Structure 1
């Protein structure tokens, strides 16, 4: 079958081609729930380049995620046009050939995609749904391209930065590194490996090992490291969650504070858990002293661990992220099977408020904090329109064309997470303000929950 689409991107041809030719482009064009690129630091459109990916969300083990390998077969650039072709050399299809064509016009760049796809015989009966999914993917790529270019244009006059990122292999870190790289910035991934590549930095937060010499030439450090909290909180897990955040942050802060000519900014991950799980009827701003609970205490200490950097005069930002919506992980992904089966519903009290943000918007918020020297202190990274639990379920059901009538029984999250984690991660009521983030010059791309979910779920 052949699938063709044409979109106009309101940016010059040279900018569109440069974006595609940089590291990170394939990552930004691949929805996290659809697959993950195996070498996200690689880039380029040159003939012969091989791109490999694992299909399916990263929460699944690699043995059950099919490997898809493509090779760039053709690449041409002219004064007013450009094209490249990638073709499957290993993967789920009998054949796949994707021609990307770009042409300048008076209103920007016309992007034409032509996909020639041959299904395995056992899948020929679902050709219609496959065609629809490919069209949705191409529409997602169009939105992602124009939204990322819009972000980069806002920072076109900012000098290109070198940015070190811990937690760069996580859901947010992978996308943040890719976004920065497509904007022409240099990313150095901070990894827990003894042997590293030239563009990587080794560290061991538990052993307190981070060589200041490895941070020479780095402008900004973004610290995203930390064990996932979306699990059962046994005593051992609680210790890991805490130590993975406190020790790593304190190590980075001490290291930066001791450098005479080191990075000038530390952008630190944080969370709206700072405010406590249930604050009904309150509008929560950065001026709030914080709430009570396991997460509130953790986040308070997490932010405090960065104080050595601030006291040394280093610009220090704590981004208190809300529920990051993605089909590849986070709080939305576990709900999708229930909703798709027609069994979805609200998770907590109907009027309890949910402060959400899309994965792409939270990634752009981190990039904004890294590149904008005026951003400082705690910042809530949430969308502009929090919604009630009832409205969240209703909107998700409408986007998926499924009912959302039956509340999820309280014992469900407790069975999955345990009572303590379910109490602080699921039974939440937090109406968090994004006013300070917006006042800093940040522009949210997905301003309503429906728009957000349609982008994230490619609907």
Structure 2
């Protein structure tokens, strides 16, 4: 049995092939809804070997063969025990069609084509969208730079570093363990080394303890201590090292847990509550002279690899989902790839300074969100979650500031900059990341 999937990409042949050869390509092409993780990326398409992690501890190892740039390379399954029971030969073929490129995937395997088609449809969509975003950025002045990044192993960080790398940037990951290669540097969050940011053009700071969990005093202290001090130390070092751009994660929690139907922009006053206090202090820690600072106030990120959708997806897929309480709270969301584009733009667009709301143009109420997710998954959404449910899991304060938060946030700074979203509507964003 075989599958053939072909599409035309609006980019020249050499560029499309080169994209596949850069670090991060396999991360960008792995569908987020599949239970697959990248264990090791091949260091070359000419004889290199990639390893994916599967459920039950299985490993999918594939060797790159028949390297013929810019027209072809092949993946062949070579790991035991899978290769004893399964055939897999994946031909990647590229052909010029004027200034565009026809990309054709031919797979010889026993796996039914109907199982594989959504995966390859995703890969082709993702490639086309990434190349289009990268081309638009180059037209707006983006040029290859060296970016130092904290939090690169998280689900946002993995998406961002792999996108930047395939765009031609060098990403230096700041890690708290011993470095394993030339593109990693040891980072002490409390006392970063004086030469940590040598030869770096920009910093992207994503690291911080997860806010998910019961709001105990210990958990709240972990949220604060992992953000304020380390951010101040890194921002001060960026200024001392002459790094011109510092882009830091932030959150729409700045606006407080419930602002009713007030439309919130970057000029709106901060709200009340623990998270609002943390975000205000977090952003204040980035205020250094001589550096263009961008604080990316992120909404609810849509990806089954992380965030709330990681919890909701299996529940709704099983037909067990529904609105939270009365469903009237506002949810300001953003697709993962759109968030990546915002961070990318912050690196090269000098008009972005200070807080930037990273949310889609259209916030929705929780009842609309849950109905849309159910429709995308072709499941009912008839089991509302009682209001006491989140309180049992998160405590009173956590339920109010996380599960019950209602914030109608608008991306005013991005709109003023003429920013284009890949997925401005919720249904389109969910269909893409869930393979529907």
For the criterion TM > 0.5, the same-fold answer is: yes
1:172 corresponds to: 156
Q: Structure 1 residues 107 and 401, CA, compared in 2 at 3 Å: closer, same or farther?
A: farther
* 1:314 Cα deviation after fit: 0.4
Q: Is the 8 A contact 2:179 2:185 kept in 1?
A: no
The equivalent of 1:144 in structure 2 is 126
Alignment TM-score, normalising by the size of structure 1: 0.90
- Structure 1 segment 230-379 matched on structure 2, within 5 A: 230-259=212-241, 262-307=242-287, 309=288, 312-379=289-356
Structure 1 residues 7 and 256: alpha-carbon distance in aligned structure 2, compared to 1, 3 A threshold? same
How far is the alpha carbon of 1:404 from its aligned partner?
A: 1.0
Structure 2 residue runs without a partner (length 5+): none
1:85 alignment partner in structure 2 = 74
- Return the alpha-carbon distance in structure 2 between the equivalents of residues 83 and 194 of structure 1: 37
TM-superposed CA distance for 1:235, in Å, is 1.8
The residue that corresponds to 2:87 in the other structure is: 95
Q: Does 1:426 align with 2:406?
A: no
Backbone CA RMSD of aligned residues: 1.7
Provide the rounded CA distance (Å) in 1 between the counterparts of 2:336 and 2:243: 26
1:395 counterpart (354, 372, 378):
372
Residues 1:413 and 1:199: Cα distance change in structure 2 (over 3 Å): same
Separation of aligned partners in 1, 2:295 and 2:324: 28
Shift of 1:196: 4.7
Structure 1 gaps, min length 5: 57-63, 120-126
Task: Report the alpha carbon displacement of residue 69 of structure 1 after superposing the two structures with TM.
Answer: 1.4
> What SS does the aligned partner of 2:307 have?
coil
Partner residue of 1:228? 210
Match of 1:36 in 2: 37
Aligned-partner Cα distance in 1 for 2:352–2:411: 14
Per-residue deviation, 1:405: 2.1
Aligned to 1:210: 192
Greater CA deviation, 210-219 or 321-330?
210-219
Contact 2:33 2:433 in 1 (8 A): no
- For residues 3 and 421 of structure 1, what CA distance do their matches in structure 2 show? 48
1:87 counterpart SS class: strand
Pick aligned residue for 1:200 from 177, 180, 184: 184
Q: Quote how far apart the aligned CAs of 1:321 are.
A: 0.3
CA contact (8 A) 1:212 1:256 kept: no
Offset, 1:31:
2.4
Partner Cα distance (2:218, 2:162) in 1: 33
1:117 to partner: Cα distance: 1.9
CA distance in 2, matches of 1:111, 1:53: 23
Query: How many residues matched?
Result: 430
Are the equivalent residues in 1 in contact too, given 2:323–2:383 (CA < 8 A)?
Answer: yes
Residues 235 and 133 of structure 1: is their aligned pair in 2 closer, same or farther, counting only changes over 3 Å? farther
The CA distance in 2 between the partners of 1:5 and 1:319, in whole Å, is 37
Give the superposition deviation at 1:350.
Answer: 2.3
> Which whole-Å CA distance do the structure 2 matches of 1:421 and 1:74 have between them?
54
1:435-446 matches, within 5 Å, as 435-446=412-423
Give the drift of 1:209: 2.0
Answer yes or no: is the 8 Å Cα contact 1:33–1:329 preserved in 2: no
| CA deviation after TM superposition for structure 1 residue 419, in Å | 2.8
Alpha carbons 1:349, 1:427 under 8 Å: kept: no
1:311-359 Cα shifts (integer Å, max 9, x gaps): x220000000000000111111101121111111112432221111011
Classify the secondary structure of the residue corresponding to 1:331: helix
Which segments of structure 1 move beyond 3 Å, counting only runs of 4 or more? none
Among 71, 75, 89, the alignment partner of 2:63 is 71
Separation of aligned partners in 1, 2:101 and 2:240 = 48
> Which residue in 2 is equivalent to 1:158?
142
- Counterpart in the other structure of 1:59: none
